[in-house]
Structure 1
Amino acid sequence: MQYETHDSWGGPDASYYGFHVITDVYGHELKRGQLTRSGIWVGHSGDGRKSSYNGIAPEKYGDSHPHLFTYWTRDGYESTGCYNMDCPGFIAASGATVTPGALINPSSKVTLRVLKDDQSGHWWVYYGFNGVPTAVGYYPKSLFTNMAKKANQFSFGGFVFAERALPTPPLGSGVLPGGKGRAASFTDLRLIERDGRSSPIMKDLPTVISNNKCYSITPIVNSGCFYGGPRGCV
């Protein structure tokens, strides 16, 4: 697996209550055994993470189109959690027009938001186009221990995977930042406060990149950054 992320591992005393981003979605022709994803992760070091992504995964969905999906765990992916609504956990919002696993059509910019409701303690997932996300559903606070109170880490980025006999698929648009063509982007990066207000992320965060020759994610400037990597680089 290859990846590139911006990470904030705030430690036990850090307090995060949500994350917001606008990200590009691209369609790519993939085969079974290949996948490409981008998304956001919010978690607590004692629980593991809950995630909201967009990605192409023929093995999972039986096609080569981008889909919205979520994942949760409370033990670092050891034995708990699942995608979307594949096991008890995620509860769809009343009247929601989108469910986890839904096809993203057309491929474009989408807004993702994950936040903890201060009254109920549940972690809500929002999704939408044109910067206006609507509620998809929530993870009940009863699923978690430490996350029932707050998160202390978050990250965002992308990753790709290919079985050994296959080339790695494109990451993002398939273009490295600074290369020919337009790289994929994360924009309007925001942290959400306990009271629901949000503030832009203006300072850069540490990066983790599995292969610097093939993948890159730029520093955060004006609450945004670029990322990506070409097909078949690894």
Structure 2
Amino acid sequence: MYQHALGYLLGKQYHGIKATVNVWAPNIAHKDDFSNSQIWVISDIPNHDLNVIEAGWMVYPGLFGDNSPRLFIYWTNDGFQKSGCYNLLCSGFVQTSNEISVGAAIAEISTYSNSQFNIDLMMYKDPETRNWWLSMDSHMIGYWPSALIRELADHATMIQFGGEVFDSQASGGHTSTQMGSGHFPGEGFGKASFIKNIELVDGENTSIPDLSDIILGAEKPNCYDVTSGYNGIWDNYIFFGGPGNNPQCP
């Protein structure tokens, strides 16, 4: 069972997104559970033709063999039915960087009421090749070829940013796998996970910082929740996350 606490934009033509993603190491209840903080780029074609590309950090013991937050990517071009994979587990994403590898552990991790560490992510469409590129901390990592994600070759119609938890047990009580820092967004900076400096990219690869139409969504806000805001330093931002199982989320 998947659960989310995120912000999203839809209804326009989007050519990319960039954002600063706060890094944590949430507790994972079972090795096949995972927790991530990420950005999604999505086409508007429903069901079996849905194209999605994703990037962010993830804690997934069942995939990586440890509890470290790691850079990850994902893609599908058939609505998560048969195509797609994480990282380079199947052909598709073309890694071009010899400095940063998808799947690499992120060394600097935030701690509660102490130092905060982030990664800067950007996903954007090259207007000439129509490939979708990924960069982290200004390093170009690689791209999804336009032939792989044909429904995104012109533009995306939905952008998402936030957290996702997968509960591999999906029975009995709610999982205690944490999202973000494991604390609710109301605790604020240094305690709750955030994504800040959220900007869209237009068809000329120019940043658009004014995002007044962010929509928030959380399936179970007593388990994982999300809030949003804007200021002159962080621009558009969200705080999100939670502990999972708790007295209000049994």
2:63 paired residue among 60, 63, 79? 60
Alpha carbons of structure 1 residues 231 and 213: separation in structure 2 relative to 1, 3 Å: closer
TM superposition score normalised by structure 2: 0.84
Change (3 A) 1:162 1:168: farther
Matching of residue 150 in structure 1 with residue 146 in structure 2:
no
Matches of 1:29 and 1:187 in 2, distance apart? 23
Q: What is the total number of aligned residue pairs between the two structures? A: 226
1:115-194 matched pairs, under 5 angstroms: 115-128=124-137, 133-164=138-169, 167-179=175-187, 182-194=191-203
Check conservation: 1:54, 1:67, Cα contact below 8 A: yes
| Deviation, structure 1 residue 55 | 0.9
Q: Report the CA distance between 1:106 and its aligned residue.
A: 1.5
How many percent identity over aligned positions?
A: 29
Give how far 1:62 is off. 0.5
Which residue matches 2:112?
A: none
Instruction: Say which is worse superposed, 110-119 or 158-167, in terms of deviation.
Output: 158-167
Listed as ranges, the matches of 1:72-87 within 5 Å are: 72-87=75-90
Match of 2:107 in 1: 105
Contact map agreement 1:5 1:155 (CA 8 A) in 2: yes
Looking at structure 2, the residues matched to 168 and 145 of structure 1 have their Cα atoms a distance apart, in angstroms, of 38
Deviations 1:42-73 (A, max 9, x none): 02122321111211000010000001110111
Alignment partners' CA distance in 2, 1:21 and 1:43: 16
CA contact (8 A) 2:26 2:180 kept: no
Contact 1:71–1:82 under 8 Å retained in 2: yes
- How far 1:100 moved relative to its partner? 1.2
Match of 2:19 in 1: 21
In 1, the alpha carbon distance for the partners of 2:211 and 2:156 equals 20
Contact kept, 8 Å, 1:202 with 1:221, in 2: the verdict is no
**1:220, distance to aligned residue in structure 2 (A):** 3.1
Moved over 2 A (4+): 28-31, 161-168, 231-234
Amino acid at match of 1:34: D
Deviation of 1:204 (Å): 4.2
Query: Could you list the runs of 5+ residues in structure 1 that have no partner in the other structure?
Result: none
Give a deviation string over 1:14-59, Cα, whole Å, max 9, x none.
2110000001111234341221111000021223211112110000
Alpha carbons 1:204, 1:221 under 8 Å: kept: no
Deviates more, 1:133-142 or 1:208-217: 208-217
Task: Note the alpha carbon deviations across 1:83-136, whole angstroms, 9 max, x for none.
Answer: 11111111111x4311211111122200111000111111001112xxxx2100
Which runs of no fewer than 5 residues in structure 2 stay unpaired?
110-116
Amino acid at match of 2:240: Y
